[in-house]
Structure 1
Amino acid sequence: MIINLRAQLATLMLFITLQAIAQKPTSKMQTLVTSGHAAVNGINMYYEIHGKGDMPLVLIHGGGSTIEVTFGNILPYFAGNNKVIAVELQAHGRTSDRDAPESFEQDADDVAALLKHLKIAKANIMGFSNGGTTTLQIAIRHPQLVNKIVVIAGSYKRDGFMNGFFDFMKTATFESMPQPLKDAFLKVTPNQAGLLTMFNKDKQRMIDFKDISDTDISNIKALAMFIVADKDVITIPHTMAMAKLIDGAELAVLPGIHGEALGEATTYKAGSKAPQATAIFVQEFLDK
């Protein structure tokens, strides 16, 4: 297992960032985008396809988010090197809801059904935050579909979250939801009731979050990379523990807060090269 910890990371990220600055997005203005909805498991699931490539890269957003919120600042870099399939999960963005709670297991099954609909036999899967936990469930429940996984700030046990996280979730109100997430949802689906439903279902899913067993994680055979920020919602020891459970897994601790390395909308700093640097870093893993 390769573990890139803080002492090594400063040099590594400086090198990557210098590379990133020297490179430009290969297809930010050129990549053709197709989009659509697929009827899967009782929902109408929205997806976008960017770029070209033999091994697709599936992007799974974080809780309360859309494709643009989580990946808007990093997707163009991946699209220059991959066929990227970005999805929106149950009740999020342009995807419809079902008369059932959200769950990471169901999200995994929905993504698997979408890939079947698109006639994708195998793909790389990258998920952020709640999308990272969904990525783990895809690797557990649908291993035949998975080539490699990249889990960014994902979790598999309740004790992996920062202190006080679940106490906060119990008392969280719609008013406390970050405004950029509300604006992003309403931009693509102008439905205030749908936005409130997404918030309530996301909140309840986290309140009800149940640990994934060490056995299930250790049974993942896909090549894996785990990424966490040094000031993340998910702890570094928790991410290290996941990486240790999967043979050959790689681990990177990147500077910043939750989502900053991706350029996630609520944490993005104008002009930051972090998304480009992270894309280069991840792409090297995907290309091995």
Structure 2
Amino acid sequence: MSAAVNPADVPTEQPPAKRVSEYHLMWRAFRRDPLAVVSLIILLVFVLGAIFAPWLTPYSAQGLGDPNILEKFVSPNGDHLLGTDYLGRDVLARVLYGGRTSLSIGFLVVFFAAIIGIPLGAVAGYFGGWVDNLLMRVTDVFLAFPPLLLAIALAAALGASFINTMIAISFTWWPWYARLVRAQTLSLRQRYFIEAARSVGVSNWKIITTHILPNVLTPVLVQITLDMGGAILTGAAISFIGLGVQPPTADWGQMISIGRIYFIERPWYAGSAGVSIFLVVLAFNLIGDTVRDVLDPRTRRSA
């Protein structure tokens, strides 16, 4: 007879260990940086404030540009938390609506610059030869001019408007993405997985879209995060000299330009727009530094 088996001696199947996803590790590493978390909160406040501006202020019409001369230059009080401007408009409403313009310029400029620069850089780096020389010489022409000066010249030639400001800045920013992606592509095109894809007959365009571009997105994402603040500053600078968004549309750069005349006696108008630009640009720069560390596996692993 066989000996009775004690149920306690039978090994039980252990549940598989829960696998931590890569995105969870990135988020956990991001949360460890308090400055990045605070910066993210600041950005969310400004973005949500711009989106929900009509519901966050009772002076929505003034934010859109309607004057109220009877309350011109009212100091900050309970009714107008940031005071009023030279036309009696609520400054907080102008800041919220100005955030729509300034943040939109930042996001759209970086988006279109990346859309132009990333494919050109990937094509130049992958094919090399005369294609690389042609695209990089065109890139060098744009890089030969100071970006802000070239953007101002293009904005002056196109005319002062929101669309023209976005186009002018985008045309000066795409070469940086082309250069960055080209450098990454040059290091990738000789890798074994690229050679293997060629050997089985995968087309060049398929290799670029499915193997090259996904592997260059990490440095591009870091660059995009860092460039957001610079794009907002450039847009504000163009509006400051009168070549950007025109009144009555609110814009932070335009508010600083007009408010500088009254800054000594009534600093709340220009000061509120200036502080908004400072906080948003600083937040983007701090988040960009953290994103660079988070996307680096070595840095994330040590954290």
Into which bin does the TM-score normalised by the smaller protein fall?
under 0.3
The structure in which a higher percent of residues are helix is 2
Larger radius of gyration: 2
The two structures have a TM-score, normalised by structure 2, of 0.25
The two structures have a TM-score, normalised by structure 1, of 0.25
